[in-house]
C-alpha cells in the first residue's frame, strides 16, 4: 500500500510497529512514488456521514474533494494510492 502523504510516511517511519514492522514499512516505501506525494492529507468527517478530503501539495497548492459516504471515501483513498503508487 502506498503512503497517502509525506506526513504519514514520516510518522510511520518513526513508528514502524503501526504497520507491522520494518519489513511491512519497506513494502509501503517500495509501493510509493514520493515525487508526487502530497505533503499532508486531512479528512474531515461530517455528521451527515459525508467527508471532505484535503491535500496540501509541495508547491503550496491545496485540493479538496467532497465524498458522500464511507464507501466513496475508501474508493478515493484507494484511487489516490494507485495514482501515487509506483
HSE-up of residue 3 (Cα within 13 Å, Cβ side): 27
How much is the pLDDT for 29?
93
How much is the pLDDT for 82?
67
CA atoms of 40 and 38, how far apart (whole Å): 5
State the distance between the two ends of the chain, measured CA to CA, in whole angstroms. Answer: 10
Give residue limits of the domains in the chain: 6-84
How much is the pLDDT for 72?
87
85 or 28, which is more confident = 28
**How many other C-beta atoms can be found within 10 angstroms of the C-beta atom of residue 50?**
15
How much is the pLDDT for 73?
82
pLDDT (tens digit, 9 = 90+) per residue, 6-60? 999 999 999 999 999 999 999 999 988 888 788 888 889 999 999 998 988 878 8
Amino acid at each position: 500500500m502506498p503512503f497517502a502523504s509525506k506526513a504519514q510516511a514520516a510518522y510511520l517511519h518513526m513508528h514502524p510497529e503501526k504497520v507491522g514492522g520494518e519489513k511491512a514499512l519497506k513494502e509501503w516505501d517500495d509501493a510509493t512514488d514520493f515525487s508526487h506525494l502530497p505533503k499532508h492529507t486531512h479528512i474531515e468527517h461530517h455528521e451527515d456521514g459525508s467527508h471532505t478530503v484535503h491535500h496540501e501539495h509541495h508547491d503550496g497548492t491545496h485540493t479538496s474533494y467532497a465524498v458522500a459516504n464511507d464507501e466513496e471515501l475508501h474508493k478515493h483513498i484507494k484511487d489516490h494510492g494507485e495514482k501515487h503508487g509506483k
